Amino acid sequence: MESNGDINIKDMKMREASIPLSVQDEEEEEEEFRDEVAANRGQWGAKLDFMLSMLGYCVGLGNVWRFPYLCYRNGGGAFLIPYLLFLTFAGIPLFMMEMSFGQYGSLGPLTIWRACPIFKGIGYGMVVVSGLVCIYYNVIIAWTLHFLFSSFTSALPWATCDNAWNTENCTLAANHSALEENVTRISPTQEYWNNRVLGISSGIEETGTVQWELALCLLAAWVVVFFCLFKGIKSSGKVVYFTATFPYMMLIVLFVRGVTLEGAGKGLVYYLTPDFSRLADSQVWYDAASQIFYSLGIAFGGTQVMASYNKFNNNTHRDSVFIALTNCCTSVFAGVVVFSILGHMAHKLDMDVKDVVANGPGLVFVAYPEALTLLPVAPLWSVLFFFMIFTVGLDTQFVMLETCITGICDEFPHIMQKYKTWVLLAVSVGMYLLGLTCVTNAGMYWLNLMDWYSAGFSLMVLAFFLCIAISWVYGFQRFCKNVQEMIGYQPNYYFKICWAVISPMVLLFIVVFSMVVHVPAYYGSYQYPGWAVCIGWLMALMSIVMVPLFVVLAILKAKGSFMERLRYACESSDNWGPALMNASSAESSQSDEDEQEKKVPLQDTEGNDNSYISTI
């Protein structure tokens, strides 16, 4: 947001002349050090590193189980209508906004708010959200490892009812037709999941003991994540060559196998048959909007972080549209794979498709394993499937943890220069210890509580403030010029209108509607006690409260009257601009002095040098 002469920012800065020179010198040296670190913080080794990392980040577990579940629950093919609308008017515009913002500043989610210091709390909120999700997301990866290791056998352990963890209610699929109608069937897969893997208690109040096998799997997951990231962004950039491409190969294999199974058409018909009457249900529209934010990772900070390691003149317009559309197509394709197998399962069990699909994590860890037992050479398919889930989860975990580490190290550059590996180790150990709560007998209740509150409502609020900060305070016209500096042309009117009007309205709708239809957390038929719900809201508020907190701090830090403080807090810092000045090939014809300049002061009508433009 540019000053207009009614508030003299120069005079406000002169008031700070009373600060001792030694203090000012230290602050200047600190800023110079930050800029030097920013210029040497590393870049992607190749363009493909970035593209695969972003695809791996966006294409996660949500594409495998969440999208298909929401689709059939909300009218089958009719769900695609609001899904595509939200993708068009909120998903793609905000995805490009985050990517361009991160690439232009080449800074972490905290330091990048030199652009608009009053909204620095958004960056802290993103780091908090990513940190909370990292804690329980690696637990899901630990579950995957448990199933993966258990698949290295001649017969899958969840395929029979003669195990120590089975009860008298356990019934094989082959015997289902012989059961009386009033008998409730419990599959061996369900009992394996609840009794063997989770050892689940009756509620969150009964913590029980740590499941040592899950604790070791969780440790293994954190070790893999640490060693894939400890050498920085270039090491993870090479890892994703495998982790981002293998799931697609596996999905293609499962697609070929799935559509050739007996009864596959039953599942596909259920998946793609539209129920247009469901479009009158407001919950359908909310589910579609939330799926876009979850699948693209908007307001998690990961997109900003990954883009901050790009070359300055990378085409964010092309990349953002390609990645967003690829993510959408992957969700639809994964739905075809999922429902072809579920159709086969429903055919074998003589049940409706809706009766064999479990909600949430149960779709992966109950329905899928049971479906795998119906395939020939079941252990082989199980190993391949859970290895795919493992690689899909790793990609997303890489980016979320990198968001936390980059935010900390860019904010405190002295730590980054010498101790980044130790920071990564400390954060990994701390998150592992916190994650142990999710591998106790009550672990599933804790994980469900964290998933319900930590990245739900708070994510929508952060996305709304992000849009307001860039479009209306920093200025979307100014932001469009920044994009032009990078890619050579301004975004078209579609992006401009969405950034200025449509996307903020969509986000406001999501925030208000989520408050109106809010339902306290539950797991199956279990209702959480009041104290657990309060803990959930505290997790949600941990990120949201950062925004007003840093607004207050920015105003208190400034000098002058309230309006002077407010205007000053909204102004970009003097050192805001492209951190990688020499990255653009357009600079080759400029002098060395011009290449080192970050900003050129513009005189306003009253001679105050209170406006700036960034130069390349």
Residue numbers belonging to the annotated binding site for Na(+): 56, 59, 63, 295, 327, 395
Backbone angles phi, psi at 560, to 5 degrees: 100, -165
Contacts of 480 (CB under 8 A, 6+ apart): 490, 491, 495, 496
Residue 385: half-sphere exposure toward Cβ, Cα within 13 Å: 29
CA–CA gap between residue 483 and residue 516 (Å, rounded): 37
**Exposed (0-12), middle (13-18) or buried (19+): which is 537, by Cβ within 10 Å?**
middle
* Cα dist from 609 to 2, 4, 597, 598, 613, whole Å: 11, 11, 16, 15, 11
Alpha carbon 278 to its chain centroid, in Å, reads 28
Residue 524, helix vs strand vs coil: coil
Helices (H), 518-601: 530-544, 546-557, 562-570, 592-596
Residue with tokens 């989610």: 109
Helices (H), 412-502: 413-435, 443-453, 457-468, 476-487, 493-497
SS (H, E, C) 557-574: HCCCCHHHHHHHHHCCCC
User: Which tokens in the block code for residue 284?
Assistant: 């359908």
CA–CA gap between residue 293 and residue 550 (Å, rounded): 24
Cite the annotated binding site by residue number. 56, 59, 63, 295, 327, 395
Residue 48: half-sphere exposure toward Cβ, Cα within 13 Å: 7
| Plot region of 576 (φ>0 → left; ψ -120 to 50 → alpha; else → beta) | beta
Task: Tell me if 543 sits within 8 A of 456, measured CB to CB.
Answer: no
